[in-house]
A and B are shown apart, each in its own frame.
Chain A
């Protein structure tokens, strides 16, 4: 009996190692997009252009895209013309300037055009954390009731728009009217 007890630590460690081995294949930073179907998280953050405080009230009652971007994000450069085009077509886009510097961000919009109604400055990434943002760019489709309807991780281009957003967006618009 005593002799068997001496093996207990070894067995426990072997079990633990198995979990560690399995865990190595997983990415702990991968967050589930559990927020689809839920309300856009509440926040109170400054605006990029003027110095007012923004909250969910600022886009309540509208169907909007919330686009997460930053000047350090290379893919955002690629995405930007598409956003300009969507804005031109009348899609309402709100920017979430994520873990970025206000000055270069303003410069960026001056250089590349501003597709956003307004920009939320999330320098600490607190709203990004609540949203489960994994990086930039990301785009959320939010309905008039403030419920997140869809989430896109990565660049939003014409193909993605046609495949994932267009139909949903039109449907939400017609529901709203």
Chain B
């Protein structure tokens, strides 16, 4: 019964979305203002009904209703109830429902917080969001209905949630990621509305900016969480695999980052207008493309999702309609490219352009690498897989260039910057960075010998210190000795500096953990000791333990440093009762400067085990940096400027 209620709610939501698509758009052309205003109330109704539908599905999971195919496939009576909730979005149908819910949420947010927009623009933005909702609603109901029953013969027990997904990381990671993906639908809708109306000025850019920032913050958090989850849950100690699914999330992030920077130039200086529009379209298109790649099963991935050609065809048609349609609109209505006379020399505009070129190149190279196996296959060039070496080869130089440019950009001004000024400011951070790169690696190597000097560590330190030093010297210049000036700096300025510092920390983590990573895979008997980096690992033995829905072999490893006990680690090899799946649960002793990472491999008989011992210096900085970047984006999004202006304009309207 509950399931039918959820199903019905979903159909009502689809109908509301259909009206939301048609009425405000027609109204905007015919001049019916009440039709246009309809666009502001419908999203709230749509949100209500999708939420009802979502709650119904969650209730079906909680009550172990295995007559629902989706519940039977992804849950089990033994599953703890918090995992029953997260199981709602653990597979295809439920994730799409989450997509729809989040999209309805964003549409409602736009309806609520954009009352100060000109009615014409607001109505069109909401109409376009409605159209995307219709697409996803149809996709859900026609090809991926989570409320499908398994009648008359329903199983007594469910197949269980994939043990990999039974984890706190998976409770929060997909919603964050989807908030980001779907959030970019808002700037996309703004861009399409602007193309239809033929108006995109700095006001348009200012309205867009907070939405871009917030979506980007969620995407950043989603990617960071995903990387952290892969690190501790997959049990091999890697944090990024250049897997198609990961690439699918990184591509919109890169272009979204480019968009965030380009729109600032559009707001402040009115430049890059067509470029900003195009980036807004690209960012959301890549989110959709990512969903398509992941959900159609067109590429192989460690994230093995169920595949279904019918869904693939539907998604591709939807993609062609949305992306093809918007690019066609862009081609027909887009503003002609501007002459490059508005800025010159080492202006901030030029630096933003460099930033955009590097980010978009990085995205393109990832897109090519991700799709190349598919293209080669279609062209009958044979089955090819593109691995990490390709991605690292192209990605690393682009990021190195980006970091250097970020440091210089901090010193530049809009319109033009005197070269002399730059020459005064650059040497100080440059010298500090060079000195750090030269000397710090001498003390970081495992045995402090000259031979352990690592060039990649030197490059990493150069980049990170360069970035931090440029930020520090800019802050010193802006604040000086007068503390009171600190308060005058805007939140978006602090946000920028925080996000850029986060980038430095992240680079530090990536570079140093790669350069100084030390790992051994060994066959160990109880009592045996092994040395990795500066630590001794003593394998005490294993025992058997029982969890709520699994039994496990739990290893005990004592970690010592110069005969002092550092920590006891208990890695597990879990055997899940329901599907007989075996999971490796790594044990980690975390700290900011190094992680000790231990996982159990195979039992080799005679109480001996294959054991993987790893010491990863500074690996935690990767995610710390990611969090700082997200926080910086959030600070910039809540800048007073956006709210003050909106209050101001609503006051005017109220008076008139």
Contact = CB atoms under 8 A, between A and B. Distances in A.
Given A6-B330, A10-B331, A17-B319, A28 B324 contact: no
A26 B296 CA distance: 11
Interface size class of B (residues with CB under 8 A): 35 or more
A17 B313 CA distance: 11
Interface string A91-115: 0000000000100100000000000
B313 A24 contact: yes
B316 A21 contact: yes
A129 to B, nearest CB: 11
B299 interface: yes
B292 interface: yes
Interface stretch (B3-11, B16-24, B601-609): B601-609
A13 B336 contact: no
Interface string A9-21: 1100110110111
A2 B336 contact: yes
A22 B602 contact: no
Nearest to B274: A6
Interface stretch (A46-54, A55-63, A78-86, A160-168): A46-54
A9 B300 contact: no
A123 B375 CA distance: 33
B15 to A, nearest CB: 30
Contacts of A23: 298, 374-375, 377-378
B641 interface: no
B378 A22 contact: yes
Interface string B602-618: 11111000000000000
Contacts of B337: 2, 5
B312 A24 contact: yes
Contact of A46 (B298, B373, B605): B605
B300 A28 contact: yes
A2 B383 CA distance: 39
A2 B155 CA distance: 62
Given A16-B371, A17-B320, A9 B330 contact: yes
Interface string B306-337: 00010011001001100110011011101011
B582 interface: yes
B336 to A, nearest CB: 5
Interface size class of A (residues with CB under 8 A): 35 or more
Nearest to B325: A10
A90 interface: no
Contacts, number: 89
A51 B605 contact: yes
A20 B374 CA distance: 8
Given A6-B334, A7-B331, A24-B298, A17 B312 contact: no
B278 interface: yes
Nearest to A72: B580
Nearest to A20: B316
B197 interface: no
Interface in B370-400: 371, 373-375, 377-378, 382-383
Contacts of B299: 28
A55 B337 CA distance: 65
A28 B582 contact: no
Nearest to B607: A51
Contact of B602 (A6, A19, A46): A46
B331 A24 contact: no
B458 to A, nearest CB: 36
Contacts of A24: 296, 298, 309, 312-313, 316
Contacts of B328: 10
A29 interface: yes
Interface string A109-127: 0000000000001011000
Contacts of B320: 17
A9 B297 contact: no
Interface of A: 2-3, 5-7, 9-10, 13-14, 16-17, 19-26, 28-32, 46, 50-53, 72, 101, 104, 121, 123-124
Given A6-B334, A23-B298, A123-B602, 13 more contacts: A2-B337, A6-B330, A9-B330, A9-B331, A10-B331, A13-B323, A13-B324, A22-B378, A28-B298, A30-B383, A32-B383, A53-B604, A101-B575
10 contacts: A6-B330, A19-B378, A23-B374, A23-B377, A28-B299, A28-B374, A46-B605, A51-B603, A121-B602, A124-B602
